[in-house]
Structure 1
């Protein structure tokens, strides 16, 4: 057993995962430490405005650079990756300007149609935040490409510390929505700046001359499947993830939405902490395997199996003791969220295990197939929630049906991608 543990700790892949996970865990720990302070400074209405802003941002952000930054890991030569970064910046600039003009000239009808009165004074920050998020995506994908996982972890922790200090300090002066939204927007710029500074220092230590005559038009054509297929897929996925909140709010009570949001926030921690870390390290390794002309099936299965072995522990605990744990930690009024979490655990366990599957899709050039799959998945989720509503006539029944539909969806996706690998 000790020999196995020693071999595991010496494994480069495992060490890289641990580094990324440490950065994510550190950032989350800092945010959790500041939460009791921040929630006492800002009112629920202020948090609601920020939540609305982030929800709209999450839906429109896939359009920012048409997902071209995700392609930066794929080229064999750094010159092509740099070309993709420049393309991403130009697209982000154009889309940000276009959205700014649309919001400026059609602000009133947009606010009225989508009921966005709570963020009306800050709505022009959306395109600015979009552009900053592209900077994060570009610098982040470069660190993944160059396997600078230690740099990524450090910048994530430092950014979390600075932003939460700003929210607390500025909130004491003016506890308003503009502070929360403004610091959230600035957080993307800060993250990109910290990562870029680290990349520059790294490049000075290891100077390399990168020359290329490749044209932007060739790169746009070569990786056009990211714009044509991946961007709509991410957009559909964002809408799909918001479905329970939107439909629970319309079919049931606001309390049911609160139960769902709390349960999802807690249950996504293992997926964000472990799954995202594994996916970021797995992606360049998988691409390298394909570049060597080898089959990616074996490494894909191993990555999914490893996540399943690790993830089963926290989710089994929630399934067994969810209502009791939620009642103990959050109060008796949140016991219903624990009931939700029991059913949602099966869904989010499958989400965790499929992180490498999602990461492998661009490398396997299956963007079009994934888009079709996402369209079908959104339709299935809508039907599942409605069936749960009409069959059980309860919010818990709708969550049960939605969760089981996601188990089927992600299991089918896993089988499909492994067969194509």
Structure 2
């Protein structure tokens, strides 16, 4: 607790860590709130097929971008010496540059066949924007970790707000002047580009002398486990989130992918903001329990998930009961089908909302192997249903239901893994 005297009165100030969490969550909530509020305007400026292109575009960029820095961004906060940390960051930026060049080169041969396979031929025409967005996203990831290392929490909060402002203003502004569908796609990159600014602030990465090539190579050798192990895990995790949407586009068309993409973002964005805040608090409290070996970790996992279920139950029930009518009212009559998808996915995202924040239990107890195995199982469960439905000619509603069922089963499995690991740690009095 921090106190200060103002005008003869004692003024309480929250601890630095709490202020940091509040800054980040506040900026994220405001930025994501602006993005969500922009959707009713965007759905009247762009049609479902254009949203389908956006959904596929973001999925492709996300899957490439998440490994563009070879997972070296995650190592940036670790070195004690700032010079070594800068070398790690520049190694990550070098990997981003290489990934961008490889993406551009592969696009010469693969862009058209891939776009045709995914059911969005226009993706080939904007492959140049895919490459630029991968570059921006990779730099954004490295910049974020550098700001975390510097504990620039206020900067991170402002960055998250600017990201939402940049995305919403770009997409609405270009839509109003008829720049379609490029306006939708550019908004993604512009938002992330505004988030890189922290590297130029005082103490930012670009204010430091660039490391020598020998230092970058030494950093690569020291942290080689990140590109060798963490990068494949990150790609698999991203695939579990993005591949089902790509399958819907490939098997049912870009308009259906647009409906699903909007549904996922409308349901997922608020849950992500709340879930991140709960995740940070849960991780801090659980880490203390593990270090002190005082038990109670299993009870903490159970109580946190039950409370989150209670928080999310009413919104989920609202979607189940009024999904189509609500989406038609808010986003326009053309988007009623997205409300049908929301109705089918409501319980699935409720379970995800309740379990994801406590999933750090496996990392805290050093069970990364179990988490990696679960990521692989989730990909099989969430992708398998839509594939079978698409190949057998089942209607899109059946495919979405299969996706939802895979979601529920996979996150139920993750919950059981977390509870079992926590209970074992409580019994043994030590991690694992």
| TM alignment of 1:50-129, pairs within 5 A | 50-72=54-76, 75=78, 78-79=80-81, 83=84, 86-101=87-102, 103-104=104-105, 106-115=106-115, 118-120=122-124, 122-129=126-133
CA RMSD of aligned residues (A): 4.1
Retained in 1: the 8 A contact 2:23–2:157? yes
State the aligned residue count: 395
Corresponding residue of 1:277: 277
Q: 1:167 to 1:354 in 2, by over 3 A?
A: same
Residue-by-residue CA offset, 1:56-107 (whole Å, 9 max, x unaligned): 211211221222323456x4x6438x74563243134234225415624x54
User: Aligned pair 1:140/2:141, yes or no?
Assistant: no
Shift of 1:191: 0.6
Rate the CA distance shift 1:175–1:253 in 2: closer, same or farther, 3 A.
closer
Tell me the residue number matched to 1:220.
223
- TM-score by length of structure 2 reads 0.73
**Alignment CA distance shift 1:59-1:251 (3 Å):** same
In the alignment, is the contact (CA less than 8 A) between 2:162 and 2:191 conserved in 1?
no
Q: Which runs of 5+ in 2 are unaligned?
A: 1-13, 208-217, 423-432
Conservation of the 8 A alpha-carbon contact between 1:16 and 1:281:
no
- Partners of 1:385 and 1:401 within 8 A in 2: yes
Q: Could you tell me how far apart the structure 2 residues matched to 1:178 and 1:349 are?
A: 33
Alignment correspondent of 1:200 = 203
- Alpha carbons of structure 1 residues 359 and 79: separation in structure 2 relative to 1, 3 Å: farther
Counterparts of 2:169 and 2:278, CA distance in 1: 29
Report the Cα offset of residue 145 of structure 1.
5.7
Distance 1:156 1:248, change over 3 A: closer
> Compared with structure 1, are the counterparts of its residues 387 and 121 closer, same or farther at alpha carbon in structure 2 (3 Å cutoff)?
closer
Residue of structure 2 in register with 1:242 after alignment: 242
Q: How far has the Cα of 1:412 moved from its partner?
A: 0.9
Q: Aligned residue for 1:318?
A: 319
> Do the aligned partners of residues 102 and 134 (structure 1) sit closer, same or farther apart at CA in structure 2, a change above 3 Å counting?
closer
- The structure carrying a bigger helix percent of its residues is 1
How far apart, CA to CA, are the structure 2 residues paired with 1:145 and 1:283? 18
Which of these residues, 154, 157, 161, is aligned with residue 161 of structure 2? 157
Using a 3 Å threshold, how does the CA distance of structure 1 residues 124 and 340 change in structure 2: closer, same or farther?
Answer: closer
Preserved CA contact (<8 Å) 1:136 1:188: yes
Counterpart for residue 265 of structure 2: 265
Q: 8 Å contact 2:50–2:258 — kept in the other structure? A: no
- Per-residue deviation, residues 338-362 of structure 1 (Å, max 9, x unmatched): 3332231111111112222344444
Give the drift of 1:407. Answer: 0.9
What is residue 347 of structure 1 aligned with on the other side?
348
* Partner-residue secondary structure (3-state), 1:123: helix
Aligned to 1:399: 400
Larger deviation, residues 365-374 vs 296-305: 296-305
Q: Cα–Cα, structure 1 residues 160 and 400, in superposed 2: closer, same or farther, change >3 Å?
A: closer
Give the superposition deviation at 1:414. Answer: 1.8
| Alignment partner, residue 211 of structure 1 | none
Q: 1:191 aligns with which of 182, 195, 203?
A: 195
Task: Output the CA distance in 1 between the equivalents of 2:103 and 2:158.
Answer: 37
Larger deviation, residues 42-51 vs 52-61: 42-51
How far 1:31 moved relative to its partner?
A: 2.8
| Structure 1 CA distance for aligned equivalents of residues 283 and 147 of structure 2 | 12
Contact persistence 1:132–1:188 (CA under 8 A) = yes
* Contact 2:23-2:153 within 8 A present in 1 as well: yes
- In the alignment, the residues of structure 2 paired with residue 84 and residue 33 of structure 1 have an alpha-carbon distance, to the nearest angstrom, of 38
Gaps of 5+ in 1: 1-9, 205-214
Secondary structure at the counterpart of residue 354 of structure 1? helix
How many angstroms apart in 1 are the aligned matches of 2:248 and 2:187? 30
Q: Deviations over 1:15-52 (max 9, x none)?
A: 76554433222112323455566667677776665544
Question: Following the alignment from structure 1 to structure 2, what is the Cα–Cα distance between the partners of residues 285 and 145?
Answer: 21
